[in-house]
Each structure stands twice: as C-alpha cells, then as structure tokens.
Amino acid sequence: MVILTLNCGSSSLKYQLYNWDKMETLAAGIVERVGLDGSFIKHEASGHDEVKIERECPTHKEAMDLLIESILNDEYGAIKDITEIKAVGHRVVHGAEKFAKSVIIDDEAMKTFRELEQLAPLHIPANLIGIECAKAVLPDVKHCAIMDTAWHQTMPEQAYIYALPYKWYENFGVRRYGFHGTSFLYTAKRAAALLGKDPFETNLVIAHIGNGASINAVKNGCSFDTSMGLTPLEGLVMGTRSGDIDPAIPFFIMDKTGMSAAEVETALNKESGVLGITEKWVDRRDIEIAAEEGNERAIVCQMIESYRIKKYIGAYSAAIGGPDAIVFTAGVGERGPITRKLALEGLEYMGIKIDDEKNKASMTRNAETCISTDDSTVKVFVIPTNEELVMTEDTYALLEGTYDVHTKYEYHFESCDYVNKEREAGLPKDLKKWKGLDKIIVTPPAAKEGCGCGNCCGNC
C-alpha cells in the first residue's frame, strides 16, 4: 500500500510517499514559497538525486499539482499512476479537546477543524487548504488527520489548567494543549527502545528544538507537561516566536507605541525569538558563525535560548521524579552541539553529564546517538525525529481498523529490531564526514540479551 503524507504550512507543502508493504520511503520533498514570488519544489525519489524545480505556485492547488507531477515524472518520479496512492495522512496542528487521537476526515471533522481555527490561526487554515486541495486531486481515497495536540491529552489538570477565570476554560477552551505531538511520540518510543525499557515505565525530558521549539515531560511513557500552551507561542525561545514573557508586556507596548493587538500578535509570532534578539538571523548556523566571530548579540542570543531550555529541563525533571534520559530532536536539537552543550552545562549535580567530543560528533539525521559520559546516571540521546512515519502508520492503522491511542496501540518503530532503511543507506556518507560518529551510535539491546522492553520478538 502506498500512503502519501502532507504537512501543509501557510507558504509550504511538505510531503512523503511511503510504500507500507516494503516499509520504505519512495519519495519526499517540499514545495516552498507557496503564494509568494519564486516558489519551487525540492523533490527526491528513492534511487534518484534531489531535483529542484522552480514554478510559480500562487495557491496550494498549484503546489499540489506540482507535487503530483513530480512523483509521477518518468525521469525522477516514484510511482507510475496516481491510483497507486491508497490513502493520505494530513498533519493538523490543533485538535483541542475534540480529538485525542488521529481520525479519518469526514464532513463533521472538517466542521470541527474550522471551529478550532481561532486556537491556531497561523496553522489550521493552511492545514485545511491542504486537505481540500488533496481531496480535489485524490477524491476516491481516505484522508486522515493526525493531530499535533493528541499526544498531550494525557496531561493532568495541574499541568494544563491555567490560573485564569475558570469560565474561560469552560466557555472557550482556554488551556494548555501542547504541540509537536507526533515528534514527541516517535522519540519517546525510540528512547524507551534504546534504554531497553517498557515505554510505560520510562521517564524522559524531550527537547524538540527547531524554528518552532518545545519541551515535553514524559512520565511513565505519557505526556505529563509541555512548554507550548493554548497556541504554539508559549515556552522556549524560537526562531521568530518569543516564548514565555510577562503577559503584561503586550499591553505596555500597545500603550507606548499605539500598536494594535493584531500588530503585537504578529510581532510576538514573527518578529521575536532569536530574530528579535539578533535583529538579523533566524538560522542558528548563522548565529554560531557570528558568535565565533565575536558578535555580542549572537553570543547573548545563544545564551538566552539555551538558558530557557535548561530551566525547562530542570523543572520537568523535578515534575516527573527524575528522567531516565534527556532527548534532543528536530533541526537544532539534532545538529546543534553548541545549543545542546550550553543547555546541559551545570546539570552534573542532577546526574546529567555530557561528553564534549561525543556531542560534537553527533551531527547526523541518519543514526541515533548517545552523547552523555559513560558515568552519567541520566542518558543523553540525540534521536532524529520522524513525524512522517507516525503520520503514515496512523493512516495505515485507521484504514485497517487497528488504530487506537498510543497507550493501546503498538507502533512498528517501537521494536528493538526496527531499522529505517533510508537512514541506514545514508549513514555511510555521514560516517566519513563526522569524526567519532561511529563510536556514539546507539542501538536497542538485542532481544536475546533480555532487553525487557516487551516490544520486540517476545523472547526477552
């Protein structure tokens, strides 16, 4: 069965085409600058080099057409006929309390998503456009919604209720929801496998650090608390988002400058974070270069971002009674050794000890690594996330009628003998590039050694 997954943003359309029967990715890519000048697609099919095609995509419809054209191309495509696609999985950022798990999209689900637009006005409209465009191109297959917020539905009231008038929660759903759920689900299950533990006997603090960033406290294998809140604005310092601030600041700025509420909201979401501090950069690699050259603003920015991460690691470690491991994932988390180092420095008293050389060597999306010292009582893992695989597996299970919430459903990648074929194929190139990488790759304990995870062959 071939499954297409779509992650539709306001100006982008990210996709993956997956062959479920062979457990391998057929193609993946992204259409960028949708609705803007200079739009293009980056597309890579298995066995082919990446291609970049420039074409104006004034709407997501043109982006979807370009996507389909690319996967069907005789030279660099992945399938012969569009009818090979049997289902489509869509990322939907916000499911509020309406959805505690992934669902097949019907008219009622679409109605509910539209009602939730105000909770994620920067994300849900784009998600809905993606669904509508995909349904127009693929009207005869099932379309499924995988909610970013669903993973966090296990949070207790003390974690998700704000100290605000309770009627705001009752009448308007104002509470902490959290995001990056598919990423946290994948990395939590993989961390448990690497530890050789039952997922529901595992405590973790997972840091998903990218342009969007959040931290998740995982207690006994379930989300216990998370840094993002009603919207994706709360929590860590991000690429262009402020994260935690004094809630009186917007009113103060509106009074001083005459800015409207909408203008302040835009500033907090699109003009703050590391961009706001540096007034120049969003890409952490640019900030690293500037910091190395002595740029004071870049240095301060690195310290602010990492300090916020450190505070959350400390707080969440206390909340769950101590973690078995700290996990870094997403773009900066996976390939940002300076951010990881600064975030963990000074936490030795908690049993968290990072090895500088191991940390520097962990610069790959093709392997799971351990960057803690041998005597660290808390492991520190870098686990490349795979949100598309979660979306694919949820979609397949929904079609088969086997899907349920993660506490009642076992994913294939939880297995100790799970192998990502694409990453396995890409690893040799990284091993040549990054000295010491071969020494820090970590794999789950083999079943024959009695790993105790309960997710492999059953012979533990």
Write the pLDDT tens digit of every residue in 10-53. 778 899 999 999 999 999 999 988 888 899 999 999 889 999 99
How is the chain split among helix, strand and coil, in percent rounded to 5? 40, 20, 40
Q: Could you tell me what percent of the chain has a pLDDT over 70?
A: 97
Can you tell me the distance from the alpha carbon of 371 to that of 337, in angstroms, rounded to the nearest whole number? 10
Tell me, which fold does domain 196-383 have in CATH?
Answer: Nucleotidyltransferase; domain 5 (3.30.420)
Domain 2-147 shares a fold with domain 196-383: yes
Tokens linked to 57: 């995509």
The pLDDT score that the predictor gives to residue 89 is 96
Residue 459 reports pLDDT greater than 60: no
**In whole angstroms, how large is the CA radius of gyration of the chain?**
22
Q: Is the dihedral of CA 408, 412, 418, 424 positive or negative?
A: negative
* Catalytic residue annotation: 148
pLDDT at 453 over 70: no
Q: What sign results for the dihedral spanned by CA atoms 216, 218, 223, 224?
A: negative
Structure confidence at residue 392 (pLDDT): 96
Residue 5 burial (CB count, 10 A): 25
Burial class (CB in 10 A: 0-12, 13-18, 19+), 343: buried
CATH class of 2-147: alpha beta
- The burial class, CB within 10 Å (0-12 / 13-18 / 19+), for 410 is middle
User: Which percentage of the chain shows pLDDT scores above 90?
Assistant: 80
Q: Is pLDDT at 191 greater than 60 in this prediction?
A: yes
pTM for the complete prediction?
0.92
pLDDT at 98: 85
Dist. CA 93–CA 178, nearest whole Å = 10
User: Which range has the worst mean pLDDT, 105-109, 115-119, 268-272, 403-407?
Assistant: 115-119
| pLDDT the model gives residue 448 | 40
Nearest to 362 by CA among 436, 252, 288: 436
- Domain boundaries of the chain, sorted by first residue: 2-147, 196-383
Amino acid, res. 276: G
